[in-house]
Structure 1
Amino acid sequence: MARRPREYADGRRRRRPVLVVLAAVAVMAALVAADGIRRYVEGEAELRTDPAFYALPTAIPDGKPGSLIRSEPIASAPAGSTAWRVVYRSQDMAGAEVPVSGVVLVPNTPAPPEGRTVVAWGHPTTGAAPQCAPSLGLDPFQYVEGMHELLAEGYAIAATDYPGLGIPAASSYLLGIPESNSVLDIVRAAGHIEEAQTGDDVILWGHSQGGQAVLFAAERAAEYAPELTVRGVAVAAPAADLIALMSDDISDISGVTIASFAIPAYTQAYADRFGEDAIEAILTPAGAEATPRIAELCLLTQNEKIHAIAGPLVGGYVTSNPATTEPWKTMLQENSAGGTPLTVPVFVGQGEADELVIPAATEKYVSLLCSQKADVSFHRFPGIDHGLAAYASVPELLLWLDALEAGTPPSTCP
């Protein structure tokens, strides 16, 4: 991996105790707060110019996946780093070219001769409409969990928005193939930014929806992007098993919201195979009326509006459980991780108070990985809910990355 190892004078690897890591995270939090005012002011200025960057011409010359369409520096980059907003080429569910937006960040420290190792970040759900793209926010790095710690370690970060967010295109929400394509292609795109000085070594890191995206990227990288070397994949509360996710959540407001984002994406992606009527038959009349209205809203920033529409539909949104009803059962299975055994080390973090991705679902997925002979480092965090799963994972993630670099990734499998 392209990162200078920390060593004692006699050449032995220096291991970081957990308390040292926790202290470093605390110091980092203080530095982040101190830098907030500058970034807010510069972020406000960038919001006035962002729309022009995302407005692409009708005809874009064809290019290879991962090739840049455009890029521009981001003035509100975190202190000690340089960042770019990018639009690059990727591929959709059918293999057609699709433009995707995102951000690339690198630390302002010398890169090793072979280039920086890239952490490809998969963000949690922000919505399914173009305006919900993380890179469009006042803080385009807000959802890159562990960003400051990773930059301090010398990693570059490439964070895709996913197809359909930022640049208008067919939604890729919870569709493993287009999501994972965009994760791998932004690493390629970073390689076209000369100043970023990135290499071919990649760490995949994602939370929730992003966990599904990076797990699919790990499964598909050897075929889709063989020039990249994926060293490991790390996830926090991953949406790995969509059958379990839908069964666990469809009877509450979170399930209605997730399904409202997913149904338009799946309808468009699978219409040729199953037909729109068969896919949308899962909805009650009230659900069919509400779905497009919810799908245009962004999670977190428009929660009140989402809850006002979705709340009254709890218990009356679908006619049956999608996880047990065709063609939804097949579609959800095809977009669940685990179909291809992973051959790289895996880190999994899970909050025990998570009510969205239920701990039992993650434990079941970890058991599957272990049965497939993967090297899995599984960490449970008492009292941590879904929203904090990735942040809680960061200290253990840094230790896992050290072990990964040393060639001794730990495994908690029996």
Structure 2
Amino acid sequence: MSGSKARTWDARGIAWWLPGLAVIVSGVLLYSPFGVSLIAGRVVVAVAMLVLAASAAARWWLAGRAQSPDAASEHTGGHDPGLGHARRLLGVEALLAAGFAVFGGAAMTMSVSTALMWVGACWIGVGLCALLAGTRRDEVVVASAALAGWQVLAGVILTTLPFRTGLDFTAWTIIALLITGTAMVVRGVRLTVPLPRASALRWWRPAAVTAQLVVLVATVGWYGTIVTQAAQQTAEQDRLAAFYEVPQGISPGAPGTVIRSAPMSLPGVHGRGWRILYWSQDRHGTPAVSSGMVFTPLTEGTNRPILNFAHGTVSLGADCAPSRQSEIASSMPWLNDALGRGWVVAASDYAGAAGTGDGEHYLVAADQGRDTLNAARAAHNLPGSGAGADMVIYGVSQGGLISLAAAALSPTYAPELHLVADAANAAASDIAGILRARPPQLLNGWAVTPFLTTQYAKAYPQLDPNALLTPQAAARNHEMAGAGCAATPFAALFPRLTIVPGMGDYFKGDPLADPGWLHAFEENRAPDMPPGIPVYLAHGLDDQLVPPKFTAALVDRYCSAGSRVTTQWNPGVGHDNDNEKAVSPRVIQWFADRLAGTPSPDNCGQPLPASLTGH
């Protein structure tokens, strides 16, 4: 066909755009709540493979018709051996796709790793057939080089993906289906819809080639980053894993007894650090093993104050624990300031985290408050730390609640430690209230509450998560709880985050309607502050995860009880590092003043920010 003529309607395009639409629908179904179930998702993928097989078979038949004497004479002026080669490969492509679909249908309970290999191998096989068939500008029965190349690249990514969760399987398969389906539709439409003369489209080919090259380079670079970072993280975590294994047959020691310690590499930190394993207890007095960190100044010293730090949410995977992060100091912008003042810093990972158990008791205040106090005991017991008895406690977000719980427990649970002051930044002080408010960043529960529902069910065995969760949430709850943390490259988390909005509702209704769950959540509200202990409460006024009205309510409660409360409200700041950077320097100076014996300022009686009035 001459490039100067408009292309007329071509029935062969139907073999492209109709299956392409079906492939797009498969990707959309996989994105929907229907695709949350791995079994349902695999059915969708198997059907998409059958559609690809049907497309290849239809084009195989069309190529056969084109090889007939009449058609060959009309279209090519004679028999085309290249078309015969392409037809044979189309037959192989159809059989491959159908075979992979049958395999997937027969193995619905395959592991996630096998599922990734299954889909990836199918894409590689289909793409290679198309590439080997050869592409010519006027040949319409075989895939374009760009489409075939994308299929091979998508297959390589799926088969070699360093993260092997069901979320990764779903996310990457959605991407592969949507791009493949769109490319098929575009190719079919170009064949079936009359196009302008070639002279009117002289910009099309260079623009298309440029766009394809940009996408290829970006995808390869992005995936190369994921693989490189994942390899580094895996090597680091494999090296650390043995430290966190609780010794077999070990007898429980007194709370705060150090089981083992090891020096930490601390780039940028003006002090020394140790990774520690120590004994703690839950609220029932049952022994538990926790891990954590202790930091000390470079100079020798004795009777040093302890700054006891309670960290915020980091997810539940073993490699998510702060002490397993190579650059943990970057999340503690106040650390060098504290060390420069001659303080010892203790920081718990919380019992059950980091590989010491089956995950921390997330936001179970009495349990994690004990873990925090026992970290200070462990710092005191660590040889060479120079830690004394004076202690201040600082927590952020999740850790804000835990710092308040540790302060409340301190006089009776750890009386040998002299609690001087407590500070909580953006504290998750009222779990029931936060769930009732349903702030936007919770994404209907998927963002944070898997940590809560999975771990509360362990701490409170009488609670049933299925009483709160939709079927799709129940199917993915444990995986969501441990699917991502600081050790996971953000580039790898991005596909997971993009599919969360399509997973539907997390809660089947009001999560507070169940009396057992409501009682457990209310039991873990921030407790009252011990008499005479000053407290520093800070919050970003634009926080969309933990609304600042809950800290305002806490200010009212503590002031009514006679506590001296210092407040810091940060306008234009959310639940992020900017809030921590705004708060921590002032908290450290406030602690220094309290340790020096200076009476605490008191903001009780001062008006709240206008945005919080009427809370």
Could you state the TM-score of these two structures normalised by the residue count of structure 2? 0.56
Q: Residues 71 and 86 of structure 1 are in contact (CA less than 8 Å); yes or no, is this contact kept in structure 2?
A: yes
The reply on whether 1:292 has 2:478 as its aligned counterpart is yes
- Provide the rounded CA distance (Å) in 2 between the counterparts of 1:343 and 1:127: 35
Q: Deviations over 1:30-76 (max 9, x none)?
A: xxxxxxxxxxxx99996563122112222212210100100011133
For residues 271 and 346 of structure 2, what CA distance do their matches in structure 1 show?
Answer: 13
Distance in 1, matches of 2:438 and 2:429, equals: 14
Q: Aligned in 2, Cα 1:289/1:77: closer, same or farther, shift over 3 Å? A: same
State the Cα distance separating 1:176 from its structure 2 match.
0.5
Q: Deviations over 1:122-163 (max 9, x none)?
A: 111001232210111122434334112111222110011112
Deviations 1:76-135 (A, max 9, x none): 364431111100000124321111111100111342x4x110111011100123221011
Contact persistence 2:407–2:530 (CA under 8 A) = no
Question: Contact conserved, 2:306 with 2:344, CA < 8 A, in 1?
Answer: yes
Q: Aligned in 2, Cα 1:80/1:44: closer, same or farther, shift over 3 Å? A: farther
CA distance in 2, matches of 1:310, 1:92: 33
User: Residue 410 of structure 1 corresponds to which residue in structure 2?
Assistant: 601
Counterpart selection for 1:151 from 314, 319, 339: 339
Aligned-partner residue type, residue 151 of structure 1: L
AA of the residue aligned to 1:126: V
Does the CA contact (< 8 Å) of 2:396 and 2:427 recur in 1? Answer: yes
2:273 is matched with: 83
Residues 377 and 410 in structure 1, CA contact (< 8 A), matched pair in contact too: yes
- Which residue in 2 is equivalent to 1:269? 459
Q: Per-residue deviation at 1:308?
A: 4.3
Contact 1:104 1:159 in 2 (8 A): yes
Aligned equivalents of 1:221 and 1:197: distance in 2? 21
Query: Does the 8 Å CA contact 1:244/1:323 hold for their aligned counterparts?
Result: no
Residue equivalent to 1:197:
386
Q: Distance in 2 between matches of 1:401 and 1:311?
A: 42
- Contact 1:127/1:298 (8 A) holds in 2: yes
> 5 Å matches for 1:111-190?
111=301, 113=302, 115-170=303-358, 171-190=360-379
Total equivalences in the alignment: 366
Report if the CA contact (8 A) 1:173-1:261 is conserved: yes
Paired with 2:449 and 2:387, the residues of 1 have a C-alpha distance of: 37
**CA distance, structure 2, for counterparts of residue 157 and residue 339 of structure 1:** 25
Q: Residue 300 of structure 2 contacts residue 386 of structure 2 at CA under 8 Å; is this kept in 1? A: no
Please, which of 545, 551, 571 is the counterpart of residue 356 of structure 1? 545
1:342 deviates by 5.3
Q: Deviations over 1:144-186 (max 9, x none)?
A: 3411211122211001111221133243111101111111001
| Letter of the structure 2 residue corresponding to residue 296 of structure 1 | G
Residues 117 and 292 (structure 1), Cα distance of their counterparts in 2 relative to 1, 3 Å cut: same
The SS at the match of 1:98 is strand
Aligned partners of 2:531, 2:436: CA distance in 1, in Å?
25
- Looking at structure 2, the residues matched to 310 and 342 of structure 1 have their Cα atoms a distance apart, in angstroms, of 45
Work out whether 1:281 is the aligned partner of 2:467.
yes
Pick closer, same or farther for the CA change 1:255–1:43 going to 2, 3 Å. Answer: closer
Instruction: Give me the whole-angstrom Cα distance separating, in 1, the residues matched to 2:291 and 2:259.
Output: 10
Q: What are the Cα deviations for residues 301-352 of structure 1, in whole angstroms up to 9, with x where unaligned? A: 46436524532245x1112222343222111111110356554110111111
Which of 293, 303, 308 lines up with 1:103 in the alignment?
293
Mapped to 2, the partners of 1:299 and 1:356 lie a distance apart of 17
1:327 lines up with 2:516 in the alignment: yes
Aligned-residue CA RMSD in angstroms? 2.3
| CA deviation profile, 1:203-258 (whole Å, cap 9, x unmatched) | 10010000011110001111111111110111110111112222233664273222
- Structure 1 residues 14-34: Cα deviation after superposition (integer angstroms, max 9, x where no partner): xxxxxxxxxxxxxxxxxxxxx
Query: What is the rounded CA distance, in whole Å, between the counterparts of 1:176 and 1:308 in structure 2?
Result: 32
Deviates further, 208-217 or 73-82: 73-82
Consecutive unaligned residues of structure 1, counting only runs of 5 or more, are 1-41
Q: Please say if residues 66 and 189 of structure 1, whose CA atoms lie closer than 8 Å, have aligned partners that are also in contact.
A: yes
1:241 is matched with which residue?
430
Mapped contact 1:87–1:100 kept (Cα < 8 A): yes
Out of 126-135 and 294-303, give the one that drifted further.
294-303
Is contact 1:294–1:309 with CA below 8 Å preserved after alignment?
Answer: no
Which amino acid counterpart does residue 581 of structure 2 have in structure 1? Y
1:394 has 2:584 as partner = yes
1:282 maps to amino acid: L
2:515 aligned counterpart, secondary structure:
coil
Name the one with the larger helix percent.
2
Question: How big is the shift at 1:402?
Answer: 3.5
Distance 2:348 2:437 in 1: 28
Does the CA contact (< 8 Å) of 1:47 and 1:138 recur in 2?
A: no
SS in 2 for 1:168: coil
Question: Normalising by the residue count of structure 1, what TM-score does the alignment of the two structures yield?
Answer: 0.82
SS of the equivalent of 2:384 reads helix
Q: Could you tell me which amino acid in structure 1 is paired with residue 343 of structure 2?
A: Y
The structure having more radius of gyration, on CA atoms, is 2
Deviates more, 1:71-80 or 1:218-227: 71-80
The 5 A counterparts of 1:51-62 are: 51-62=241-252
Structure 2 match to 1:213: 402
- Where relative contact order (Cα < 8 A, 6+ residues apart) is larger, the structure is 1
Q: 1:347-391: per-residue Cα shift (whole Å, max 9, x none)?
A: 111111111111112111111111111111001111111112222
CA contact (8 A) 1:218 1:342 kept: no
Tell me the SS of whatever aligns to 2:307. strand
Bigger strand fraction: 1
- 1:312 aligned onto 2:502: yes
Say if 2:456 and 2:463, in contact at 8 Å, map to a contact too. no
d(CA) in 1 for partners of 2:571 and 2:459? Answer: 38
Tell me which residue corresponds to 2:448.
258
Q: How does 1:6-17 map to 2 (within 5 A)?
A: none
On the 8 A contact 1:219/1:341 being kept in 2, the answer is yes
Letter in 2 for 1:147: L
Alpha-carbon distance in 1 for matches of 2:369, 2:417: 14
